A and B are shown apart, each in its own frame.
Chain A
């Protein structure tokens, strides 16, 4: 019997020290609030350490899309180690390279480059959500 997936979990690295970390956060929020509301849920990544059993069960309750700013892949690795294997792992630097977008500078707030990057990444996350829902 096929079990229909109703919601997908988005886990963003939300790294504070790199512009891509902020983009991961903003793009994830755009998917949660505008692009796929009702089909997505999220959790603060460090809750896998600071929370309890319920928080750590997140990736077993929802197919999960992780969104990482850089090649360190903090969200993907932490989710796999502490909660469960992600259905799909996205890496922003890779996405932006493919799209020819560069020049991200700001961690705080969004400049024009960060805004474009956030929109492009949000679209990629939405696609990954749709795949997980299929």
Chain B
């Protein structure tokens, strides 16, 4: 694959127990479906846990951004567990600290404040996507 065809792999953490897991997952969808659909992609994070060859190749061959719900850092650690260094690791909890007025609630569906937080956070992550894409081109 030529470097110009590389995509940034955005991996949220698969959290089910916490609101912050949902925030990370929604930030990833906001980027992949709305903000940067042509230059980003994702895969199921648990595929790395079972060492699926295609998923391993995807994260080995492309820059990876992880978005973790909480300080456990599951997405980042799952990537590192197969010997890959992430290009940038985010934590949803840090976005909450930056935007204290937006308190996310809900796991299946976020409240309005959570949805606003997702959009703002995704815009920040999109800048990092752009940086990684231009780095790959140069």
Contact = CB atoms under 8 A, between A and B. Distances in A.
B107 interface: yes
A18 B15 CA distance: 15
Nearest to B14: A14
B11 A46 contact: no
Contact of B50 (A17, A28, A72): A72
Interface in B7-54: 11-18, 21, 25-26, 28-29, 33, 42-47, 49-50, 52
B29 A44 contact: no
B74 A47 contact: yes
Contacts of B1: none
B78 interface: yes
B3 interface: no
A48 B49 contact: yes
Contacts of A21: 44
Contacts of A88: none
Given A18-B44, A72-B50, A44 B81 contact: no
A21 B44 CA distance: 8
B77 A13 contact: no
A77 to B, nearest CB: 5
A108 B44 contact: no
A87 B16 CA distance: 20
Contact of A14 (B15, B43, B52, B109): B15
Given A26-B108, A49-B74, A13 B26 contact: no
Interface of A: 12-18, 21, 25-26, 28-30, 42-51, 69, 72-75, 77-78, 81-82, 107-109
25 contacts: A12-B16, A13-B46, A14-B46, A15-B45, A16-B11, A16-B28, A17-B42, A17-B44, A28-B16, A43-B17, A44-B18, A45-B16, A46-B74, A46-B78, A47-B72, A47-B74, A49-B77, A50-B72, A50-B73, A50-B77, A51-B72, A73-B50, A74-B49, A81-B50, A108-B26
